[in-house]
Structure 1
Amino acid sequence: MSVEPRVSGLQHPDSRSFEQVADLYERARPGYPEEIVAWLVERLDLRRGRTVLDLGAGTGKLTRALVATGAEVIALEPGDEMRAQLQRAVPEARVLAAGAEAIPLPDDSLDAATAGQSFHWFRLDEAVPEVDRVLRPGAGLGLVWNMRDQDDELQREITELLAPFVPPGREGEGPGVTEFFRREAFAESPLFERFEEREARFAEELDAEMLVGRISSISFVAAAAGEERARLQEALRELAATRGGRVDFRYLTEALVTFSVA
């Protein structure tokens, strides 16, 4: 399992590319499977009267599911364009311009925290104690990732097309992300305990242009030179054409819940 370098917020050059494609990210990226969302809601005890913080909220793909629980939702997003999309998509959430390493909230003020598709961007040595600071003792932290399902033939073909674009440290995408971060972020940390994991698979049917948009919203593709990106996009259209113009885009979703030491 390999992941993106952990340089927080907009400091990593690939993360800055999200600012260029915030609208595309909102249109083309999926949400999370109902099974995983329901599990997170249950394990974090999200309901009316509770307060949850969504870290690295992006355009609000996870935030809107949190709002649906009736809990008070605070969403952190450092990128201006992503944050603007977030505010439009989820007006019910309180949106703050901040990263996970410097959370502008009081100590012990939150009942839960989440990070959807964002924890790998954080500087973990700073973010983990900062998240613990704002969580009440015993509060839960839920992490979730959608990953392209490498057991699927289409995804293996897409992986081959992406190979020239992949930066060092992202040579592979596959299962094991929760196990990786359990070691990287928490193995030697006295701040969190009790680890629970869940996974699910899901698929979405996409036409050729939505396939192009979805892959173009990947950070290292968005950061690529225009001509290189155009060649990749044409190859994706050809790939869709070999399947009648529509594809089943399959994901493996992994989630991890851990709890602040009481």
Structure 2
Amino acid sequence: MSFGESAAIYNAIRQPYADEVIDRVTDILGLTQSHSILDIGCGTGIATRQLAARGFRLVGTDMDADMIEKARSVGEAGTYQVADASHFDFTDGEFDGATAFGAFHWFSDEASVRSIQRVLRKGAAFVVVNKNDAGDFRDSIVEIVGRHVVLDSARPKLNYQPAKILNAFGFDSVEETDISMIEHLSPVQTVAHVRSMRLWEEVPPSRHGMIEAELRSYVTDRLDTLGTFQRPLTIKIVWGHKQ
């Protein structure tokens, strides 16, 4: 199963961003309703819809056609496009702002960043949001899955520093901030979340059952008094403006 083929699972399981995060992003963008925002690497459109609900005009793009198909089935079809960030077909200065939620590492090369700059109007902000595990959740998942499969996708993202990338490729007044929070997941949601991760592509179907059993055991041993699994997160927000 490819990452795109897991679009339905991804859309059903991945948590929307907390209002605090969306509030901070909209404050940084500094836009009013009806302004246009390009959401790059939008996946199934979870954050795209959250921004659209604030009254902005959103165009969501992703390279994965399956993700875009799912986004269109949930939101308005005209809002989403399959597109390569390094070769956007949009006109110069077409957008009043741009965002990338949890996806910038896929298109943080110079060609893509220059392409993003080109389609922004002068002074527009580009906001990068990353949801990082503050606890041992991801390391534990990699360890559990890695007992059964040699994982390539779990390797650290080397040299992925959004602030340095934006500075290096011409964005101005680059800043960053962190927001700490906790996601509360049921045992079923936690296992399904792992199935929506890219590393699950590397797991042969014959090993799904045994790995899921280990995941359920791991989660069950760590439930809080309400019966949920707590996943500590640091939401890192990095932004810069087109000169």
Give 1:67-82 correspondences, 5 Å limit: 67-82=52-67
How far apart are 1:243 and its partner, in Å?
Answer: 3.6
CA RMSD in angstroms comes to 2.4
- For 1:36, the equivalent position in structure 2 comes to 21
What is the match of residue 124 of structure 1? 109
* Alignment partners' CA distance in 1, 2:101 and 2:8: 18
Structure 2 counterpart of 1:35, one-letter code? E
Q: Which residue is 2:211 aligned to?
A: 232
Provide the secondary structure at the position in 2 that maps to 1:17: coil
The 1:34/1:109 distance shift into structure 2, 3 A limit, reads: same
- Cα distance in 1 between the residues matched to 2:132 and 2:72: 25
| TM-score between both structures, scaled by the size of structure 2 | 0.87
Gaps of 5+ in 1: 1-15
Does 2:119 match 1:134? Answer: yes
Please say if residues 40 and 257 of structure 1, whose CA atoms lie closer than 8 Å, have aligned partners that are also in contact.
Answer: no
CA drift of 1:129 comes to 0.6
Q: Is the 8 A contact 2:85 2:116 kept in 1?
A: yes
Pair 1:196-2:196 in alignment: no
Distance 2:201 2:134 in 1: 21
Residue 258 of structure 1 pairs with residue 240 of structure 2 = yes
Letter in 2 for 1:230: G
Give the number of equivalent residue pairs.
238
Residues 145-156 of structure 1: pairs in structure 2 closer than 5 A: 145-150=130-135
How much identity, in percent, do the aligned residues show? 23
8 Å CA contact 1:67, 1:92 repeated in 2:
no
Match of 1:222 among 197, 201, 214: 201
Letter in 1 for 2:141: I
The C-alpha deviation readout for 1:101-159, integer Å capped at 9, x for no partner, is 12121011111000111111115121111001100111100010112222x5x555334
Secondary structure of 1:62 counterpart: helix
Q: Tell me the TM-score normalized by structure 1.
A: 0.82
| Partner of residue 160 from structure 1, selected from 123, 133, 143 | 143
Q: Match of 2:228? A: 246
Would you say the 8 A contact 1:83–1:97 is kept in 2? yes
Identify the residue that residue 91 of structure 1 maps to in structure 2: 76
Distance of aligned partners of 1:243 and 1:182 in 2 relative to their CA distance in 1, 3 Å threshold:
closer
Q: Distance in 2 between matches of 1:169 and 1:59?
A: 20
Q: Tell me how far apart the structure 2 counterparts of residues 121 and 169 of structure 1 sit (CA, whole Å).
A: 12
Letter in 2 for 1:132: Q
* 1: CA distance, partners of 2:16 / 2:181: 11
Aligned counterparts of 1:195 and 1:72: Cα–Cα separation in 2: 24
Question: For the Cα contact (< 8 Å) 2:163–2:239, is it kept in 1?
Answer: no
Task: Note if 1:24 corresponds to 2:6.
Answer: no
* 1:101 aligned partner: 86
- Give the partner amino acid of 1:161: I
CA distance in 2, matches of 1:169, 1:19: 15
